[in-house]
Every structure is written in structure tokens, then in C-alpha cells.
């Protein structure tokens, strides 16, 4: 896909899996990555949402820094992901996300995780053509509370997330009184069933996946999207 400035952006794309004539395509879904890029974990998530009836595209939003960027969950990969995320301009990133939105047929939804959770919030505020969005543990949202979403959005946070401690979630809730914030008895990365620990054994990442919290957040996200299935003007 091409961004507004002509930059060729890579992406992982999977068609919606419509099982029978009674099952309808639920829409398009822009899936926004963690700091580790469009890796096997994000591709697996994309496949799982395609099984739920969404045509999914996961744009490789770090391509401007390194084409085809992927990082592992070891210490080197963690540091590489942090550095690349820190070097990514939010204005440019949301412009590239807009290209992914425009590439899909509507209605178009957005879901993002970690870095992508913040990106989903900014896309809801800055991009057009989004029907609804779901943001997972976006730690930098607290720095963008003045931005107002143009579409319905829900936020998900783990109560034991050291990167977004409860007081930060409190500030987000207080700054966004009209936005539904869900809290789970879980840590960071609770939605992603990645193997092992990230960050070279950093205890903050160990066993981040939580099957119960993940299932509940997924159900809430799908129900939320189903409530907003019209293509926006």
C-alpha cells in the first residue's frame, strides 16, 4: 500500500474467513503492532481475527526506519523495538495507518496492542474512515488526553501492568470521562500468547499472557465492533 507521500508500506493481509452463506464479512480490521513489528505473533493475531470474519491488514509501520522490521523477544530485540518505536514520528505513523484504513473496504475497525494501543488511540483521533477502535495497554495515551476521538473507542488495561500502573490508568479515566476503560487482573501483554519472556528475562514480561483476560477482552471488542457496523460518512 502507498502512503500519502508515496512511500510504499509493507503489510500482512489476510482475507475474512466466511464459513457459509449465513456468515457475513464483519468488516475490515487494521491491526496495529507492538514494538516488535509485524512478527509471527501479530500475524497469528491477524489470522485469528480473520477467523472471526474480518479482513485484516497489519501495516508495517516501522518500515520507514527498517523495511520489514521484526524484532525478537530477547533483550536485543526488546532494545531494538524500543529504539525503533522511539524514533517513529506519530504524525507520520498515523498517516501510514490512514493508508491502511483507505486500503480496506468498510466498515473499518482498528485494534492495537502496546505501541499499537497508543497508535489506535491517535488513529481514532486523527484518521478518518474508522467505524470503531479497541486499544490494548497503550501506555503513551496519557500524553495525548487532549486529543478527541472521531469514532467510538474502548481501552483495555491490566491492573498489574508495570508499564501502565494503576495511577496512570486512573489519570486516563479521569481525563477521558466519556471513554469506557476496562481493567483486568493481568499484566502487560495479556492478550498475546507469545512464548517465554520478553526483554531477555525481564520479570515484568514473564507470563504476560492471561487466557481469561484475553478471552474477555476479545469478546468485549467483538461485541463493541458489532454495535458499530455502519460505514462512517
Q: What are the sequence ranges of the domains in the chain?
A: 11-227
pTM: 0.91
pLDDT of residue 160: 87
Q: What is the pLDDT of residues 124-172, one digit of tens each?
A: 999 999 999 999 999 999 999 999 999 999 999 999 888 889 999 999 9
Residues 26, 226: Cα–Cα separation, whole Å = 8
Q: What is the pLDDT of residues 6-34, one digit of tens each?
A: 888 999 999 998 776 656 789 999 999 99
55-72 b/e (C-beta count within 10 Å ≥ 16 → b): bbbbbbbbbbeeeebbbb
Homologous superfamily of the 11-227 domain (CATH):
Alpha/Beta hydrolase fold, catalytic domain (3.40.50.1820)
Query: Which stretch of DSSP H or E encloses residue 125?
Result: helix 115-126
Amino acid at each position: 500500500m502507498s502512503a500519502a507521500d508515496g512511500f510504499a508500506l509493507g503489510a500482512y493481509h489476510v482475507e475474512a474467513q466466511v464459513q457459509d452463506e449465513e456468515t457475513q464479512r464483519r468488516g475490515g480490521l487494521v491491526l496495529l503492532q507492538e514494538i516488535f513489528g509485524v512478527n509471527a505473533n501479530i500475524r497469528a493475531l491477524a489470522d485469528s481475527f480473520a477467523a472471526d470474519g474480518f479482513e485484516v491488514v497489519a501495516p508495517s509501520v516501522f518500515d520507514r526506519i527498517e523495511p520489514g522490521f521484526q524484532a525478537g523477544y530477547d533483550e536485543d530485540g526488546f532494545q531494538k523495538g524500543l529504539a525503533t518505536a522511539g524514533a517513529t514520528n506519530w504524525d507520520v505513523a498515523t498517516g501510514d495507518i490512514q493508508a491502511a484504513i483507505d486500503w480496506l473496504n468498510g466498515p473499518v475497525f482498528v485494534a492495537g496492542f502496546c505501541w499499537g494501543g497508543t497508535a489506535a488511540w491517535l488513529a481514532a483521533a486523527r484518521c478518518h474512515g474508522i467505524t470503531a477502535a479497541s486499544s490494548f495497554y497503550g501506555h503513551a495515551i496519557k500524553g495525548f488526553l487532549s486529543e478527541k476521538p472521531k469514532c467510538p473507542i474502548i481501552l483495555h488495561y491490566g491492573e498489574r501492568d508495570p508499564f501502565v500502573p494503576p495511577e496512570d490508568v486512573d489519570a486516563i479515566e479521569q481525563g477521558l470521562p466519556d471513554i469506557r476503560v476496562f481493567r483486568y487482573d493481568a499484566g502487560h501483554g495479556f492478550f498475546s500468547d507469545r512464548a517465554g519472556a520478553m526483554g531477555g528475562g525481564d520479570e515484568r514480561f514473564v507470563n504476560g499472557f492471561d487466557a481469561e483476560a484475553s478471552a474477555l477482552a476479545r469478546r468485549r471488542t467483538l461485541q463493541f465492533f458489532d454495535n458499530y457496523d455502519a460505514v462512517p460518512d
